[in-house]
Amino acid sequence: MTQLESKGAATSAKRTLRGSLGVTAIVFMVVAAASPLTVVGGAGPLGILIGNGVGYPALYAVSAVILLLFAVGLSAMTRHVPRPGAFFTYIGYGLGRPSGLAAAWTAILTYTTIQVAVYGYVGYLLEITVVSLGGPDIPWWLYALATVALVGVLGYRHIDLSSKVLGVLLIAEVAIVLVLVGAVVLDGGPEGLSLAPFEPANIASGSPGVGLMFAIAAFIGFEATAIFRDEARDPDRTIPRATYGAVIGIGVFYTLSTWGLVMAWGPSGVLAAAAENPATLMLRTVAIYLGAVGEVIVNVLLLTSMFACVLSFHNVLTRYQHTMSSAGVLPESVSGVHARHLSPHVSSIVQTATAGVLLAAFALLGLDPLLQVFTWLSGVATVAIVVLMAVTSVAVIVYFTRNRQDRRPWNTVIAPALGFVGLAVSAVVIVAYFPVMVGDVDADGAPTFGVVTWALLALVIIVPAFGYLQAAWIRRRRPAAYAKLTDAIAG
C-alpha cells in the first residue's frame, strides 16, 4: 500500500509507491503491454507482408533466445540494486549517472512512441469497424484521443484496478488465439501442416531486418517487471520470476500463433492474403475457421487487446516519470502520489497530455494511422529498446566486475555478453532495413536512407544526448539536485 515516509519531524514527507503485486499480476501487466492479439492480428501480418514472409514466425523464437540471455543479467541486477527504474537505474549503477539519465530519456522515447503507435492502430481499427457496421465515418484520430482519455482515467486510479482489467482481457485474447490455432491444426490448412516458417531459406527471405524489428517490438515491455519493484511482494524473488516468465511466455505464444496464421493460408498463399489488407488478415482467418461468431469475438477482443496494451504502457511510463521526478530530473510535482487512489496521478496526467498532443500533431500532418503512425513509431521504439538493452548488458558486466557482489560467471558475464552480441547484431540488421519499413526505397526496391529514415533514426541519438547534457547542466548549476540524482540512480 502506498504510504508517506517521513524522515524526522522537520523533513517533508517523501511519497513512494508500495504494493503487494505477485508474479502473476506483474506478468499480466507486462505481457498485456506486449498485447498478444494486437501482435498476432496487427503486427504479425505486417511482419509477414513487409518483413520476411513465411519465415516471420521463426523470428519470435530468435528474439526470445536473445532476450532470455539479456534477462539473465537483468535479473541479477534486480537482486543487488534494490531500486525501481530498470534501464534508468541499472545503466546508472554500471556506467555512471550521466549514462543512466541518457537511458532514462531513451526509455521515455521508447515507451512513448510504441504507446502512440498503438493509439494510431486502435483509432484506425475503430474507424473501419464502425463504418463496416453502418455507422458514421469518424476520423481515426478522434477515436484515438477518446482512448487516450479512457486510459488516462484508469491510469489515474490505483494500479490494482489496472492489473485486474489487464488480467481479464489478457486471458480472453490468449484463449481465442489458441482456439484459432487449434482449429487450423484440426483442419490442416489448405496446404497441410509443415515447418516451412522455420526453414533457413524462408527465414532469410524478403526483408528479415523489418521482420526482426516487428518481432522484437512484440516483446517491448517485458523488462518493465523491474519498474514495479516497489509495488511487488518479495521483489527479490518475484521480479526475476516474472521476467523469465514473461519472455518465455511471449516467445512461445507468438511463435505458435503466427505459425498457425501461416498454416491457415498456406506458405504459398499467406503473403497474398496479407497484401490484400494486413489490418483485416486476422479477422478473415477467424471468419474461415471459427465462423461469423468467432469473427465478431476476435474483432471485439482485438480492440480490447490494443486498449490493454496502451493501458499497460501508460502504467510503465507513469512509473518511469515518477522515478525520474524523485531523482530531481523532472519537476518534483510529477512524483506526487494520490492520497486516496495511491497512484502516481500527476505523472499519469502528464503522460495522458503527452499522448494527446502527439496524436493531434500527427492528425494535423495527415499521417496514415497504420502505415505511418503505427509502423514508423514502432520502428523508432524498437531501435531505441534494442540499443537500451545492449547498453544495459554492458552495464551489468561492468557493475559486477567492479564490485564482485555476485561471482556467478553465467549470470554476470557470459549471458550478458552473449545477449549484447545478439542485441548489437539485431540493431545493425534492423537499421539496415529501416528504410524499407519507412518506404524509402529506390526504383528497384532497394533501401535508401532518405529524409524520413534519417529523421526517425535521429531521435534515438538526440534524446539520449539530451540526457547527457541535462546531467552536465544539473551537476554544474544545481549541485543539490545532482546529489539527489546520485542517490536515486547509483545509491
Domains of the chain: 16-490 (1.20.1740.10)
Question: What distance in Å separates the CA atoms of residue 212 and residue 482, rounded to the nearest whole number?
Answer: 39
Asked whether 82 and 63 are in contact (CB, 8 A), the reply is no
Reported as a single tens digit per residue, the pLDDT across 368-403 is 998 899 999 999 999 999 999 999 999 999 999 998
Cell digits of residue 348 = 499519469
Give the SS3 label for residue 21: strand
Q: Which residues of the chain have pLDDT under 50?
A: 1-17, 161, 488, 490-491
Cell digits of residue 23 = 508474479
pLDDT at residue 262, rounded to an integer: 97
pLDDT at residue 340, rounded to an integer: 64
Question: What distance in Å separates the CA atoms of residue 94 and residue 423, rounded to the nearest whole number?
Answer: 18
- Candidates 217, 231, 222; CA nearest to 323 is 231
Can you tell me which residue has the cell 493509439?
Answer: 119
Can you tell me which residue has the cell 542485441?
Answer: 423
pLDDT at residue 403, rounded to an integer: 85
447: which DSSP letter?
B
Partners of 16 in beta bridges: 3
pLDDT at residue 485, rounded to an integer: 64
Question: What distance in Å separates the CA atoms of residue 254 and residue 181, rounded to the nearest whole number?
Answer: 11
pLDDT at residue 32, rounded to an integer: 61
Reported as a single tens digit per residue, the pLDDT across 227-281 is 665 555 666 677 778 888 888 988 999 999 999 999 999 999 999 999 998 988 9
pLDDT at residue 409, rounded to an integer: 93
Question: What distance in Å separates the CA atoms of residue 474 and residue 480, rounded to the nearest whole number?
Answer: 9
